[in-house]
Amino acid sequence: MHPDELNALQRAAADDPGIAGFPGPDGLRVLGRRNRKPEGLRKNTGAEAYTDDLALPGMLHAKLLRSPHPHAQIVSIDTQHATRIVGVHAVITGEDLPTKYGIIPWTRDEQALAVDKVRYVGDAVACVAAVDEDTANAALEAIEVEYEVLPFYLEPEQALTAEAAAVPIHGPKREGRNGNVTKHVELEFGPVDDLMAAADVVVEGDYYFHGTTHAPIEPHCAIGHVDADGLLTVWSSTQVPHYLQRELARVLGLDVARVRVVQPAVGGAFGGKSEPFDLEFCVALLALRTGRPVKLLYTREELFYSHRGRHPMRMWYRVGASRDGKLKAVDARSLLDGGAYASFGLVTTYYSGQLLTAPYELESYRFDSTRVYTNKPPCGPKRGHGSVQPRFAFEISLDKLAAELGLDPIELRRRNFMGTGRTVNEFRVQSNGFLECLEAVERASGWKEKHRKLPYGRGVGVAGSCYISGTNYPIYPNDMPQAAVQVQVERSGRVSVLHGASEIGQGSDATMAAIAAEELGVPLGYVRVLSADTDIVPVDLGAYSSRETLMVGNACVSACRQVAERVRGSVGSALGIPPERVRLAGGWAFDAEEPTRDDRRLPIAAAFQIAEAEHGTLGAIGHYNTPKEGVHGEYRGGTIGASPAYSFTAHVAEVEVDPETGFVDVKTIWVAHDCGKALNPMLVEAQMEGSAYMGFAEAIFEHQVMKRGNPEGGLHDAPSLLDYRIPTSRDCPEFVSLIVESADPEGPYGAKEAGEGPLHPSLPAIANAIWDAVGVRMDALPFTPDRVWRALRDHSARSA
Amino acid sequence: MRETLSLTVNGDLIETSAPTHYTLLETLRYILGLTGSKQGCDKGDCGACTVLLDGEAILSCILPVQEAAGRSVVTVEGLAGGPRPSPLQDALDLTGGAQCGFCTPGILCSATQLLAGNGSPTRDEIEHALSGNLCRCTGYTKIFEAVELAAAACRSGRTAGEVLAARAEGG
Ligand code: FES
Ligand code: FES
């Protein structure tokens, strides 16, 4: 190795705070530190390319024509005039893309462009590609669609009636059923009725979650391109490139191997980009038809209609406990408002019950959940999929129970702590830091001095939760790995990590880079990450259900260790020591027993070169698959919600309520989260703060709501970022992040998720704090001033 | 219909032609290829398109491009003014204040204006200066920290990294 190269490498190692220092108590040098993200400075200098930042020569622009009716039969579509406009290259309608798709293989009920009927205001019916957006918009105006309007249903209760069943939104799956029911799940664990009857105290409640949307700041965008060979490439702001690739191929009738999906940088997703959308199919087909690249960028308004946000949910809960506060029976019934299509709804319906059973020990549990179609934008997965709503209902129930029993609500939660082992619905929990989470928020918030002790108008509330680190089973059944990572090690010392995880702002690229640097002993700056391009990287299932750190992280560890083993072998022979004694760290390969001896160490690049000479070019693919044995129950549905590892969270929220106006000012939210092991504490805190923010926003500000009545029924009430209020920098409470680590045997270095779990407790903690402050129970969201004011008025009327 | 106009962008005097109905944002992104400024709503609600016009943070998605004629525009690409990131960009990177990074260019422009006129902004002043820039990822905490860090770095003539290291050592 040339001495200049060598010096450069050592300098880089010395500059790198994660490398030069001594290892931490856990023996790690790079992981566990607040490292910068590999793409961080690109994002901070405007150099990062998002989908709409890409432009291809000769690119056309596409626009979608959307339905003005919530429910109507399409009688005819006339595109002749539109086609004749100068600058219009193609117009497509439902007949051009008739194959149904959907993220869940058993519930494919969507078409890129509606065929026969439209099911919500905003359902796409035609798409135009033209030289520019203005021409495309003019062409939309020239398309004539004749509709025959049908009765529409904006509430699930309405969709369940016999009249609605006669004109259902989707045809029934079986004769005699109401087609408006998407899914019904009923599961019981233990003798709920007996234990409820025997309980010393039972609290009942009727709770309502109102529906919210993701509102990422980047609108969805996709570009289709077909090369001279007929190979289709779609760039898209998606968080599931692999599933998108499969569905594109299926709907377009192409060979999957001839479809490439590339995910450029994504400007926020939160679950709102985790399934295929109309625009992706349309740009693909339009590119195939015209031979030109085609881009489609949603308007902000279109995002509110594409939606897939959190389901409105009506929930009835009965919770029975013994006098000492031990939970005996939980009986839950939920009605989910699904909107016009299935989306992830089958899973949502299960999650609304299955994910509630930790961190507490429940002696018995029953849930009965029904998802119903309505003529509204489809609901789907939003951060904390399916479980934020029931957690809201349940954690308020626990607060009521504590009040009834005269127990401190934190103490009540402690008494019911499940520890590790099996949940009542038989999920295997191997690590559980919930008690530490409770303790952390109790201490940091000054809980003991505040709860029931603050002056009227001011209060604190607590809530806990549990979430999954990925799901044990992929969305389409198969036995192949859930994640894989390819690592290439080059003789200069450069390491490339090729992985399929979707970087959507959460830091998956940073996590993989840090793992590679840790395992192979190179400075972070020597690691390049290439992700989410289906032509280049191994298959990964995408950024959903908080799976990436655990699954892709494990795959990355496996790939790196395969290479490291070869390097250690070769270096061991060169230094005359057994390979087990060779350590790769800090830019060196050295003898772990005599780390400072110059003749017992080699610069890492020289070590790679020796290994390359012995073994050939260095590289490996590592993969990870989830455990299937003994991790869930064998009952039907027992696999849904089962995860390799579970994360835990506790929040305390402090609020000030103005009794005159009903305005709730959330002052501080203390968030303690058990992420197993913080591979980068900065990224973990970022997820905790972002999650708590989003929960707070749903509690106080946001409401995805449609107008009622005729003629505007089904129109979005506030489809802009001005009217759909999301918190500004002036609206947010202070977020205090408290990281808890209970290493999980299944996670890489013990790591579990941090991106979704910390959202859940925000809403019930705020509700419980409002009760502490002013004595009213807010069982229905959101806590806007008018609603809180009304609750206060009703409360004082009752007590007068 | 197109119209030619000249304006200064990131220090360069540029002569260009844009459709008459184009906004400054469209001109920057789709004609000049400066895609750093983002479009989140295209109607003045989100702040992702914020740039500096004669030093003042404005929403480029609602500014007809003619109104920028003869004036000086600085976008996120021009904030560094050289090969190294500005102290603010560096600080935002160090605190992890850019998650998805889509609001970041706008945040940087608003905060740059703040710091140009106020070397020691309070939390309240920072919150105020950023109140037109929606961020959906961060809850703003790490963004506030970054602005404070950048201010501290500029005051002490050290880099953001050095300020953090000194703090870690209690200095
Ligand atoms: S894009 Fe200009 S304010 Fe949203
Ligand atoms: S970092 Fe994603 S919107 Fe601010």
Q: What is the pLDDT of residues A736-786, one digit of tens each?
A: 999 999 999 999 999 999 999 999 999 999 999 999 999 999 999 999 999
Measured between CA atoms, how close is B123 to chain A, in angstroms?
A: 10
Distance A514 CA to ligand 2 centre (A): 22
Rounded to the nearest 5 degrees, what angle is found at the Cα of A392, between the Cα atoms of A389 and A395? 145
Q: How many domains in chain B?
A: 2
The continuous run of DSSP H or E covering A93 comes out as strand A88-93
Task: Decide whether any atom of ligand 1 lies within 6 Å of the B48 Cβ.
Answer: yes
Set of chain B residues whose Cβ sits within 8 Å of the Cβ of A37: 93, 96
Q: Which residue has the tokens 């696999």?
A: A639
Alpha helices by DSSP H, listed for A623-680, are none
pLDDT for A15 beyond 50: no
Counting every residue written for chain B, the total comes to: 171
Cα dihedral value A605, A610, A612, A615, nearest 10: -150
- In this structure, the answer to whether residues B95 and B154 fall within a common structural domain is yes
pLDDT for A9 beyond 60: no
Task: Decide whether any atom of ligand 1 lies within 6 Å of the B14 Cβ.
Answer: no
pLDDT value, residue A20: 44
- In this structure, the answer to whether residues B97 and B116 fall within a common structural domain is yes
pLDDT value, residue B171: 56
Task: Decide whether any atom of ligand 1 lies within 6 Å of the B44 Cβ.
Answer: yes
pLDDT value, residue A176: 86
- Rounded mean pLDDT, A353-361: 97
Contact, A237 vs A537, CB < 8 A? no
Distance B37 CA to ligand 2 centre (A): 13
- CA distances A518 to A472, A502, A556, A684, Å, are 27, 21, 11, 18
Set of chain B residues whose Cβ sits within 8 Å of the Cβ of A50: 35, 38, 102
The continuous run of DSSP H or E covering A435 comes out as helix A434-445
Please list the residues that pair with A460 across neighbouring strands: A654
Contact check, Cβ <8 Å, A735/B139: yes
Residues 6+ apart with CB under 8 A from A172: A165, A178, A179
Q: Tell me if residue A577 falls in helix, strand or coil.
A: coil
Q: Which ligand is nearest to the CA of A218?
A: 2
CATH fold match for the domains A52-150+220-297 and A313-473+632-799: no
pLDDT for A505 beyond 90: yes
The set of long-range contacts for A777-781, using a CB threshold of 8 Å and a minimum separation of 24, is A777/A205, A777/A396, A777/A400, A779/A205, A779/A206, A779/A207, A779/A208, A779/A393, A779/A396, A780/A207, A780/A208, A780/A210, A781/A208, A781/A209, A781/A210, A781/A392, A781/A698, A781/A699
Listed as ranges, residues in chain B with pLDDT below 50 are none
Task: Decide whether any atom of ligand 1 lies within 6 Å of the B117 Cβ.
Answer: no
Contact check, Cβ <8 Å, B136/A729: no
At the top level of CATH, the class of A3-30+480-624 is alpha beta
- In this structure, the answer to whether residues B72 and B103 fall within a common structural domain is no
**Amino acid sitting at position A472:** N
Question: Atom of ligand 2 at shortest distance to CA of A216?
Answer: 3
Distance B113 CA to ligand 2 centre (A): 19
Query: Each residue of B120-148: pLDDT tens digit?
Result: 999 999 999 999 999 999 999 999 999 99
pLDDT for A248 beyond 60: yes
Angle, helix B87-95 to helix B160-168, in steps of 10 degrees: 50
Domain residue ranges in chain A: 3-30+480-624, 52-150+220-297, 313-473+632-799
Residues 6+ apart with CB under 8 A from A636: none
pLDDT for A595 beyond 90: no
Query: Which stretch of A24-38, A192-206, A303-317 has the lowest confidence by average pLDDT?
Result: A24-38
Q: What is the biggest distance separating any 2 CA atoms in chain B, rounded to whole angstroms?
A: 62
Measured between CA atoms, how close is B135 to chain A, in angstroms?
A: 7
Sheet holding A327-339, edge to edge: A181-189, A365-373, A327-339, A313-321, A201-209
Sheet holding B56-59, edge to edge: B12-19, B2-9, B72-74, B50-53, B56-59
Contact check, Cβ <8 Å, A46/B37: yes
- CA distances A670 to A737, A773, B26, B123, Å, are 6, 17, 42, 19
Contact, A736 vs A668, CB < 8 A? yes
Token digits of residue B88: 């603010």
Q: Tell me if residue A486 falls in helix, strand or coil.
A: strand
Q: Tell me if residue A169 falls in helix, strand or coil.
A: coil
Query: Each residue of A270-317: pLDDT tens digit?
Result: 999 999 999 999 999 999 999 999 999 999 999 999 999 999 999 999
The CATH number of the domain holding residue B52 is 3.10.20.30
pLDDT for A23 beyond 80: no
Per DSSP, the residues of A174-238 read: STTS-TTEEEEEEEEES-HHHHHHH-SEEEEEEEEE--B----SSPPEEEEEE-TT--EEEEE--
Question: Atom of ligand 2 at shortest distance to CA of B107?
Answer: 4
- Rounded mean pLDDT, A342-360: 97
Distance B135 CA to ligand 2 centre (A): 5
Set of chain B residues whose Cβ sits within 8 Å of the Cβ of A732: 139-141
Contact, A466 vs A778, CB < 8 A? no
Task: Decide whether any atom of ligand 1 lies within 6 Å of the B152 Cβ.
Answer: no
Which residue has its alpha carbon closest to ligand 1 atom 3?
B44
Set of chain A residues whose Cβ sits within 8 Å of the Cβ of B77: 45-47
pLDDT value, residue A798: 87
Ligand 2, pocket-test mutation among B76, B109, B110, B135, most atoms within 8 A of CB: B135
- In this structure, the answer to whether residues B23 and B71 fall within a common structural domain is yes
pLDDT value, residue A331: 98
Contact check, Cβ <8 Å, B85/A219: no
Measured between CA atoms, how close is B61 to chain A, in angstroms?
A: 13
Q: If we measure between CA atoms, which residue out of A666, A655, A656, A662 comes closest to residue A790? A: A662
Residues 6+ apart with CB under 8 A from A316: A204, A205, A206, A207, A332, A333, A334
Torsions phi, psi of A65, nearest 5?
Answer: -90, 130
Distance B61 CA to ligand 1 centre (A): 5
Could you report the predicted ipTM of this complex, rounded to two decimals? 0.98
Query: Each residue of A633-672: pLDDT tens digit?
Result: 999 999 999 999 999 999 999 999 999 999 999 999 999 9
Cα–Cα dist A66/A68, whole Å = 7
Please list the residues that pair with A63 across neighbouring strands: A128
Q: How many helices (H) and strands (E) does chain B have?
A: 6, 5
- In this structure, the answer to whether residues B26 and B58 fall within a common structural domain is yes
Last residue of a domain, one of B58, B78, B98: B78
Rounded to the nearest 5 degrees, what angle is found at the Cα of A342, between the Cα atoms of A341 and A346? 160
Rounded to the nearest 5 degrees, what angle is found at the Cα of A321, between the Cα atoms of A315 and A322? 170
Distance A691 CA to ligand 1 centre (A): 24
Query: Each residue of A676-717: pLDDT tens digit?
Result: 999 999 999 999 999 999 999 999 999 999 999 888 999 999
The CATH number of the domain holding residue B141 is 1.10.150.120
Conformation bin of residue B104: beta by default, left when phi > 0, alpha when psi is -120 to 50 = alpha
Residues 6+ apart with CB under 8 A from A723: A717
The set of long-range contacts for B158-163, using a CB threshold of 8 Å and a minimum separation of 24, is B159/B87, B159/B90, B160/B87, B160/B90, B160/B91, B160/B94, B161/B90, B161/B94
Conformation bin of residue A493: beta by default, left when phi > 0, alpha when psi is -120 to 50 = left
Counting every residue written for chain A, the total comes to: 800
Last residue of a domain, one of B78, B106, B129: B78
Cα–Cα dist A323/A90, whole Å = 71
Ligand 1, pocket-test mutation among B29, B35, B61, most atoms within 8 A of CB: B61
Cα–Cα dist B160/B90, whole Å = 7
Q: In CATH, which superfamily holds the domain spanning A52-150+220-297?
A: Aldehyde oxidase/xanthine dehydrogenase, a/b hammerhead (3.90.1170.50)
Please list the residues that pair with A422 across neighbouring strands: A428
- Rounded mean pLDDT, A15-24: 50
pLDDT value, residue A1: 44
Contact check, Cβ <8 Å, A218/B40: yes
CATH (one of 1.10.357.10, 3.40.190.10, 1.10.10.10, 3.30.365.10) for A313-473+632-799: 3.30.365.10
Domain that holds residue B56: 2-78
- Average pLDDT score, chain A: 95
Cα–Cα dist A687/A433, whole Å = 18
Residue B28 DSSP label: I
**Amino acid sitting at position B118:** N
pLDDT for A6 beyond 50: no
Query: Each residue of A552-562: pLDDT tens digit?
Result: 999 999 999 99
Residues 6+ apart with CB under 8 A from A174: none
Last residue of a domain, one of B78, B111, B129: B78
- In this structure, the answer to whether residues B74 and B101 fall within a common structural domain is no
Q: Which residue has the tokens 């502490």?
A: A772
Contact, A213 vs A309, CB < 8 A? yes
pLDDT value, residue A598: 87
Q: Is the pTM of this model over 0.90?
A: yes
